Structure 1
């Protein structure tokens, strides 16, 4: 449904049809997921970023691959309706990927060298990719028997770059590209679907307002989709043909932009779609330096603590709440100086009450009210509009409230929901898909035990007819983030049977334990 902003009619992202904006001829969701895996592999391949290796890979690409081997080979094979499924080795694919991120330069090279634009196959399945690499190796060896398929680095070779120094600089510059997209939630399917929808909206905005803008600054999710689109040259060239003249106004990765340019993009997006441009997990790219998030996202493909079944994983998400006062707010009755918005969790954290005076929010634009990192177990957030009492009254009175559950946000378009609060305030909440976070554990002191695990006490002595309790173990109970008991740590030593944390026996009436060296102690974990 269209929303009136007082002066113009705006549209939601989901209302934009393919006929009204750029048609995407490639599955960007699958392609982006594949590219994230590829960028992660490149980032983990440290040998690829050492200058001798990069120069060697670049020499192969420029002198041999582009001029003699790879590009002629792929150009000849990419003909007809069923070209063979091939993928180059990692070093070649990386340089090729970096070159496609400069579409103008890449297109000029291909047309001058082969009289056509050379593209690549969309291979997203890991098994198909391994098969394609084997096919490429066979074709390579058969066609170029004297040229090794894998990269062979000679650290003593001369730098042969010469006139291609610009492209080498592009490759070296892009080596840190993955740091912009390394958050684990970015590879989640629901995040990529939302990113594709926002990218379509971005292209729609560029197509509709391209003549009247100086530049557009993408957020990280839109940038990911744009780079993915560019990495498939033939599809990208055909898709953006109608807006080719406006593409230079899109700020590329690693470019530094001014705050005025960011604000121009935000205002245009808000005017077009009546929702905030910035959202959870999608910061605006403002320069080459990436700001570290205030939380450590643990990226792991396996659970390192699967051995301990009692440990319950915790899932984290990022949530952003944006607020805007309705345009007719100034004509409404009431003193806004006594009103404020409160944010609290649906479940748990009862003492968490974040208050912000309502007069701090603007009428003509969106403002970030809260930016939080939450556990999925909190269920969601509640935003309350409250009014303070007079001078003689303490506390505040609830006027209205809106609730955003995590499940509702996960099902919402672009992972974003907007609601009205008391017809005065427009509240928009967005979130990232929940991902498994680090285990949050704490140790609490427990009783001292003997070799058998029994508590050292008069009660146990009496039950054992006052037989001395041998050994001494300090115990700690480990609790998870929900306060549930996970396991027990018992600290001991590798001394004789009577020696643990301290040597000696426990008898009624006293004991005389002696110290044990720290390096002799051991730790036992009991579930």
Structure 2
């Protein structure tokens, strides 16, 4: 910051806030999670009934308690009433006017606690039942019969005419945007509170200068703004003191199209923020994530299965050993360069990479410099929170021909992650970095590069494992004592991102099987010690996994909601076809490849609508597990499916049946059988029952389906590269890596190329390709995306995202 900008920031931090926003924000996140576990409150009869209860019961009780405390201790608000109250308060001007009109004062939340605070509500329930004997305190709102609630509300003596149904629908997507783990971190929230004060300061300056600007927050700021509004008396007092009025929070506009109100508002807010405070407005982990993924089910899961035992993170250390790894999101921008060598010609850019191997970021990527290109480009990517980021200032020819002599390195510098993350001290840095000149570069003054970088608090990283028969093994291979040459060929080796073997798997016939004509099966694992262990056995009704800790079997027909299999035991996990929830394909790519994937979804009291815990890529035999407890079961499941299909001679993708829908089962009559010899997928009538066949059958009672593959062939193309989005919308990353080029191909996922608007996820980058001039060999390094939630609480895109990757291949050849 320049002295004037630092003074402005310090003035902003003096804005008075009379509530502890850190505490309130964390409590709000917990409350929103509780509502999300009760999604019937988002729409329909349950929401309408909640609005009636809010007007008929809660507001009158709150007003009575506010005038004279009806009992000692706080009121405990029912969850449904609190949700409606929450949405009402997020229009602070309307809430204030409604309260004053109906009850003569603003009804605050003083001496009121949420149901998520786990405080006994017995006293509240007693007084509620006395006042409203026909309306139970804890109403069952899941199975509410439709009725004309509006008519009942209109007969009330006092009620708000504010459209609370629309308000609830607008607020329901907010939780998805703020539900990531780093949002709960104290350091992240403290920085968000400081940025919220900066946001208010900009609005104050606009008011003082008579400037009409529609200010749009990023999501960290929006979370704090919401938290402030949930204390209406304090909010009115604080905003009147700061702005001379109660600041409106209009959430009725959600159009993020480029050139529309939100896009223009965000661009204006960004420019004003960066001019006033001298820091970047974007923030890692606070940008728009795109629309929430499609739900697995509309009916909450009733968690009633008996758990055999709890699976800890250290369960089965003798089978596999997985390191605890962290990952963080990074946003990066190069703002300005100073003291360039005399006679410097050509365009400038910066190549950035990591100083050491990284499971999530192992490419060399290019980004323009704002002062040179006059276009804002922000790179978004994930990496491990260690080592250093390396920056190389490059001069290159603007010619379409890209040859060795057109590339020149001017200088380099490094940014240490440890200084900020061990321990976490600050999640943002913007500073001038002195570059070390390259050999032959002479400058009279130090060569300087202004760098802005933001990162999230590191969170547990997913585990990415792969089964292979012919992989270049690391030095850790010697830890295995493989059997004889002929037997070794039938082992599948499970490796991690670094190519180190974790375990080896093999499918065997059970020699003591009772049915000689159809012998049973078992999966054995080869440990690092050389010892073999039985990991799974085919039983009468399915597979027993890990000494009966898990059972892998067909779903119960009466409760089947589109999943193919169930993994039950310590937890309830359902296996769905295709990429679901967090793994959902987020761009308009070809959906036909969905047949290659299975998604493991955990259902629990905390996640009644399902939480994606693993993705099984059957073509490339990769497993991505979000948590350690799912890594080994996920590998075993993928191995069972791919091995049985491989045994029966099915290679590549099995053609989809016209009767098989990508997003789930076509009808309830579709059944899938996994037995000791093979995978059979048949479309049958209701009376046909389950057909048990060996191998994978595309026939059956109707047209066949098929939903998995044995293995990907060498040289095959993965999921493809990202797409190019000119404006708006939400780009999704692509996984699987992209092949192509003159042989070779590339690993890792490829991000998207986005110029403005929307949001893209980032992949691991890709390289490869061939020749000296490659126009499309590289893939985008991911993108940032969007901001904020509603109208002044709304989302839009960063003006210019990271739009191109530049990767050095060999001898100066560039894929651009």
In the superposition, the TM-score normalised over structure 1's length comes to 0.75
1:196 corresponds, among 172, 193, 196, to: 193
Structure 1 residue 167 and structure 2 residue 164: aligned?
yes
Deviations 1:182-228 (A, max 9, x none): 22221222211111111111112222232323221111111111011
Deviations 1:32-58 (A, max 9, x none): 111111111111213323411111111
Q: How far, CA to CA, are the matches of 1:72 and 1:321 in structure 2?
A: 50
Contact 2:348 2:372 in 1 (8 A): no
Q: How far, CA to CA, are the matches of 1:446 and 1:332 in structure 2?
A: 50
> Superposed, which structure 2 residues align to 1:387-406 within 5 Å?
387=395, 393=405, 396-405=408-417
The CA deviation at 1:277 is 0.8
Q: How far, CA to CA, are the matches of 1:173 and 1:429 in structure 2?
A: 32
Deviations 1:228-255 (A, max 9, x none): 1101112211211124556657664754
SS in 2 for 1:520: coil
Equivalent residue, structure 1, for 2:215: 216
Equivalent residue, structure 2, for 1:344: 353
Structure 1 residue 491 and structure 2 residue 507: aligned?
yes
CA radius of gyration, larger in:
1
Q: How far, CA to CA, are the matches of 1:122 and 1:401 in structure 2?
A: 55
1:457 corresponds, among 484, 498, 503, to: 484
> Superposed, which structure 2 residues align to 1:316-465 within 5 Å?
316-325=327-336, 333-335=342-344, 337=346, 339-348=348-357, 352-356=363-367, 358=369, 361-362=370-371, 367-376=376-385, 378-387=386-395, 393=405, 396-405=408-417, 407-408=419-420, 411-422=424-435, 423-445=447-469, 457=484
The CA deviation at 1:484 is 4.0
Closer, same or farther: CA 404–263 of 1 in aligned 2, 3 Å: farther
Q: How far, CA to CA, are the matches of 1:17 and 1:486 in structure 2?
A: 53
Closer, same or farther: CA 368–380 of 1 in aligned 2, 3 Å: farther
Q: How far, CA to CA, are the matches of 1:333 and 1:122 in structure 2?
A: 69
Closer, same or farther: CA 397–55 of 1 in aligned 2, 3 Å: closer
Equivalent residue, structure 2, for 1:179: 176
How large is the RMSD of aligned CA atoms in angstroms?
4.0
The structure that is helix-richer by fraction is 1
Equivalent residue, structure 1, for 2:233: 234
SS in 1 for 2:163: helix
Deviations 1:106-148 (A, max 9, x none): 1112222332211114889998x22253442244345545531
SS in 1 for 2:329: strand
Equivalent residue, structure 1, for 2:493: 477
Contact 2:334 2:450 in 1 (8 A): yes
SS in 2 for 1:84: coil
Equivalent residue, structure 1, for 2:103: 114
In the superposition, the TM-score normalised over structure 2's length comes to 0.51
Structure 1 residue 149 and structure 2 residue 127: aligned?
no
Equivalent residue, structure 1, for 2:657: none
Equivalent residue, structure 1, for 2:10: 15
More displaced 10-residue stretch of structure 1: 393-402 or 87-96: 393-402
SS in 1 for 2:505: strand
Q: How far, CA to CA, are the matches of 1:213 and 1:32 in structure 2?
A: 29
Closer, same or farther: CA 50–115 of 1 in aligned 2, 3 Å: closer
Q: How far, CA to CA, are the matches of 1:394 and 1:3 in structure 2?
A: 36
Contact 2:392 2:411 in 1 (8 A): yes
Equivalent residue, structure 2, for 1:463: none
Deviations 1:378-411 (A, max 9, x none): 5341222244699985863352414141551574
Q: How far, CA to CA, are the matches of 1:37 and 1:181 in structure 2?
A: 11
Q: How far, CA to CA, are the matches of 2:107 and 2:374 in structure 1?
A: 44
Q: How far, CA to CA, are the matches of 1:269 and 1:47 in structure 2?
A: 39
Q: How far, CA to CA, are the matches of 2:66 and 2:188 in structure 1?
A: 34
The CA deviation at 1:487 is 3.2
Q: How far, CA to CA, are the matches of 1:241 and 1:209 in structure 2?
A: 15
Equivalent residue, structure 1, for 2:527: none
Contact 2:392 2:409 in 1 (8 A): no
Closer, same or farther: CA 411–136 of 1 in aligned 2, 3 Å: same
Closer, same or farther: CA 61–501 of 1 in aligned 2, 3 Å: closer
The CA deviation at 1:180 is 1.9
The CA deviation at 1:169 is 2.0
Contact 1:494 1:521 in 2 (8 A): no
The CA deviation at 1:348 is 1.0
Deviations 1:75-105 (A, max 9, x none): 23569xx973232111011111111101111
Equivalent residue, structure 1, for 2:688: none
Q: How far, CA to CA, are the matches of 1:112 and 1:164 in structure 2?
A: 11
Instruction: Provide structure 1 residue ranges, at least 5 long, that are not aligned to the other structure.
Output: 293-301, 448-452, 460-468, 503-514, 523-527
Instruction: Provide structure 2 residue ranges, at least 5 long, that are not aligned to the other structure.
Output: 155-159, 256-260, 294-309, 436-446, 472-479, 523-645, 649-673, 679-816
Q: How far, CA to CA, are the matches of 2:248 and 2:374 in structure 1?
A: 23
Structure 1 residue 75 and structure 2 residue 66: aligned?
yes
SS in 2 for 1:442: strand
Closer, same or farther: CA 456–11 of 1 in aligned 2, 3 Å: closer
Contact 2:495 2:501 in 1 (8 A): yes
Q: How far, CA to CA, are the matches of 2:520 and 2:58 in structure 1?
A: 67
Contact 2:466 2:495 in 1 (8 A): yes
Closer, same or farther: CA 457–427 of 1 in aligned 2, 3 Å: closer
Q: How far, CA to CA, are the matches of 1:58 and 1:458 in structure 2?
A: 71
